[in-house]
Amino acid sequence: MADGGDNKTHFGYQQVEADKKAEMVADVFHSVASKYDLMNDVMSFGVHRYWKRFTIECAAARPGMKVLDLAGGTGDLTAKFAHLVGATGEVVLADINDSMLKVGRAKLQDNGVVGNVSYVQANAEALPFPDNHFDIITIAFGLRNVTDKAKALRSMQRVLKPGGKLLVLEFSKPKNALMQKAYDFYSFKVIPQMGGMIAGDKESYLYLSESIRVHPDQETLKNMMLESGFDQADYVNMTNGVVALHRGYKF
């Protein structure tokens, strides 16, 4: 069942038919793909690099491991993992959106990240991989765009090896009320304007801000991970809870 129930789900603040959401999200990312990295730097003042670096360090990838970078977009995490797992390891960059995948593949190939990276266009709800296949799965700023999050988490749990770990990096709920107000102002007044000026698409960035607000908060997502079969699920707040890194293990 989709997150909104009755075959309806969230698309930002709108309620839409569940089977239409993937297509609508795809349109957003087709539109922003070419300016995605630039907009990430501008919108987060570069702090997204810190959030991703922290995620990589928590992943504790070793040479020879198999890593799935789900909703990997332009390949920031994949590039780091490819160096860490070495020639004997494997990194799969998966994204539902072919425009993002093309941008990611071009960027990684231009930077010489080749050999142990493969690219798969995949829906997180139905991952096209065998059971118990990956040592590490990461999904950075992608889960909130998935129509049925519980189904996606169960799919990730299936393809993760026993002993493997899932890392979900996602926007979340700030802990401080003042921070929440400042964050709301920035998200709804500043970011869409920036999106309009830099990427020429104000509406897509308004959707991104709205999708963050309807995404489950830290505790809800932690419980969803536990219900999906992950063990020892916990989370680390970053930047006062604007972003949280959720961790879960499969034993």
- Show binding-site residues: 74, 95, 123-124
- Interacting residue with another protein among 18, 25, 32, 61 (CB under 8 A): 61
Stretch that binds another protein, among 55-63, 125-133, 148-156, 164-172 (CB under 8 A): 55-63
- Interacting residue with another protein among 54, 186, 188, 249 (CB under 8 A): 54
Give strand ranges (E) for 145-226. Answer: 160-171
- Interacting residue with another protein among 20, 41, 63, 106 (CB under 8 A): 63
Q: Is 56 in the site for another protein (CB under 8 A)?
A: yes
Stretch that binds another protein, among 36-44, 53-61, 102-110, 220-228 (CB under 8 A): 53-61
Distances in Å between the Cα of 182 and the Cα atoms of 12, 167, 185, 245 are: 20, 27, 5, 21
Please work out, in degrees rounded to the nearest 5, the angle formed at the alpha carbon of residue 215 by the alpha carbons of 238 and 79: 55
Dihedral angle over CA of 218, 93, 29, 106, nearest 10: 140
Could you give the CA distance from residue 76 to residue 82 in angstroms, rounded to a whole number? Answer: 10
Closest CA to 244 of 149, 104, 161, 143: 143
Q: Is 128 in the site for another protein (CB under 8 A)?
A: no
DSSP state of 54: H
20 versus 62: smaller Cβ distance to another protein = 62
Q: Which amino acid is at 241?
A: G
Using DSSP, state whether 181 is helix, strand or coil: helix
Site for another protein in 135-194 (CB under 8 A): none
Q: What are phi and psi of 52, to 5 degrees?
A: -70, -40
Stretch that binds another protein, among 18-26, 59-67, 98-106, 190-198 (CB under 8 A): 59-67
24 versus 58: smaller Cβ distance to another protein = 58
| Minimum distance, C-beta of residue 232 to another protein, in the bound complex (Å) | 18
Give strand ranges (E) for 41-199. Answer: 66-70, 90-95, 117-121, 134-140, 160-171
Q: Is 238 in the site for another protein (CB under 8 A)?
A: yes
Which residue ranges make up the site for another protein (CB under 8 A)?
Answer: 49-50, 53-54, 56-58, 60-63, 80, 83-84, 86-87, 112, 238-239
